[in-house]
Amino acid sequence: MSAEITRLNYADLQNPLFVHPSDGPSSLGIEEKLTGAGNYRSWRRNLEIALSTKRKLGFVHRTIAKPVDDSIKQEQWETCNNLVISWLINAVSDSISKSILYILSANEIWNHLARRFNISNGSRQYKLSKDVCALKQSNCPVGEYYTRMRGIWED
């Protein structure tokens, strides 16, 4: 009895419904968990980059639609959506994870967190002005000071 070996081609690997064998709930590798409005923007950017490398960014941006005419692809979509949900849950603090646990799509979670933690423009202007005024080099190296200043400026 010969074993049949399934070979993946490049198109399979490019398919956003493809789940690599090493992908699991803790395989996204986000170091900084979302803790609140203070780190939301950097957290969001890190997640977008990580999800993009896994070809799953479309699940949070809702550009990968759930197939309606193919039950196998529907199941693949559900699997990927749940994988992205698990990555989101693992990338937030425990208290935030409890508030998103029962949301059924990655896109809904993404939008919920955006509404909850995205600072309005008026508040952001005040916060940025306050951050710029409070920024001091003190004894830190010029490179570190520049990095902090650049982060505030880009925000």
**Confidence at residue 122, expressed as pLDDT on a 0 to 100 scale:** 45
pTM: 0.72
C-beta separation of 92 from 100 below 8 A: yes
Q: How far apart are CA 53 and CA 82, in angstroms?
A: 17
Q: How confident is the model at residue 45 (pLDDT cuts 50, 70, 90)?
A: very high
C-beta separation of 149 from 135 below 8 A: yes
Beta partners for residue 92, in sequence order: 34
C-beta separation of 84 from 60 below 8 A: yes
Which distant-in-sequence residues (6+ apart) come within 8 Å of 89 by Cβ? Answer: 25, 97, 100, 101
Q: How confident is the model at residue 1 (pLDDT cuts 50, 70, 90)?
A: very low
Express each pLDDT in 12-43 by its tens digit. 777 888 888 888 888 888 889 999 998 999 99
User: Which residue reads 């005419």 in tokens?
Assistant: 69
Q: What is the identity of the amino acid at 121?
A: N
**Confidence at residue 79, expressed as pLDDT on a 0 to 100 scale:** 96
